[in-house]
């Protein structure tokens, strides 16, 4: 069976952290709407792929650019684009699908340097989207994720997937880097919880 991966904010070259067979992407500079890289502004538009389509999805240095709050088009209401995006990620993932994100995190300088960063994450932001709290439900989040991993890290552009520490020495090295303030990014690795797909 063919496996599929979706990379959000992918630019010209989508990443594939789980080594899936097919790679798709969404970016502002994407294609014409039918190819593997599609164009969408994910702060205001849905992910342009069907539901339950992907085995995994990723977002590298992208979530921090998605606004948390916007006014509605008529100026009379409020939207929550980040929550809407997390709903969309959950929608396009298959049951058990994985979401892998790397983003700058407070209090690291990288979270604040770029003036287009409008969504500052903390080490606990994931609790709004994951069991058992799912606190974003009060704002319209209807997805459901469980945490596989939340880990501070240093970004590594050469690697699409940064594995968790495999032994005690790697855990000690990571703890020392965090203590020194050398890990200004955060990895989210979530699993989508949803009812199994109905067979036709």
> CA-based Rg of the chain, rounded to a whole angstrom?
17
Domains of the chain: 4-192 (3.40.50)
- What contacts 9, CB < 8 A, 6 or more positions away? 26, 27, 42, 59, 60, 61, 62, 65
Q: What are phi and psi of 139, to 5 degrees?
A: -110, 10
- Burial of residue 143, with CB atoms counted within 10 A of its CB: 0-12 exposed, 13-18 middle, 19 or more buried: buried
What is the spatial distance between Cα 82 and Cα 102, in angstroms, rounded to a whole number? 15
The predicted-structure confidence for 101-126, as pLDDT tens digits, reads as follows 999 999 999 999 999 999 999 999 99
What is the spatial distance between Cα 133 and Cα 128, in angstroms, rounded to a whole number? 7
At 32 the pLDDT is 66
pLDDT at 79 > cutoff 60: yes
Residues in the chain: 200
pTM exceeding 0.85: yes
């Amino acid at each position: 069976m063919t496996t599929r991966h979706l990379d959000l904010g992918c630019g010209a070259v989508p990443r594939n952290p789980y080594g899936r067979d097919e790679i798709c992407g969404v970016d502002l500079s994407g294609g014409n709407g039918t190819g593997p890289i599609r164009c969408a502004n994910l702060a205001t538009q849905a992910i342009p792929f069907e539901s339950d389509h992907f085995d995994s999805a990723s977002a590298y240095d992208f979530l921090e650019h998605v606004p948390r709050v916007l006014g509605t088009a008529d100026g009379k209401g409020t939207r929550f684009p980040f929550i809407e995006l997390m709903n969309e990620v959950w929608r396009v993932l298959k049951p058990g699908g994985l979401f892998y994100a790397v983003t700058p995190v407070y209090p690291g300088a990288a979270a604040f340097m770029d003036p287009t960063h409008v969504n500052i994450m903390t080490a606990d932001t994931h609790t709004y989207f994951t069991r058992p709290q799912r606190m974003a439900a009060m704002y319209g989040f209807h997805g459901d994720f469980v945490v596989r991993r939340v880990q501070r890290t240093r970004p590594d552009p050469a690697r699409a997937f940064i594995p968790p520490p495999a032994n005690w020495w790697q855990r000690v090295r990571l703890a020392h880097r965090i203590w020194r303030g050398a890990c200004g990014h955060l990895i989210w690795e979530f699993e989508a919880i949803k009812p199994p797909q109905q067979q036709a």
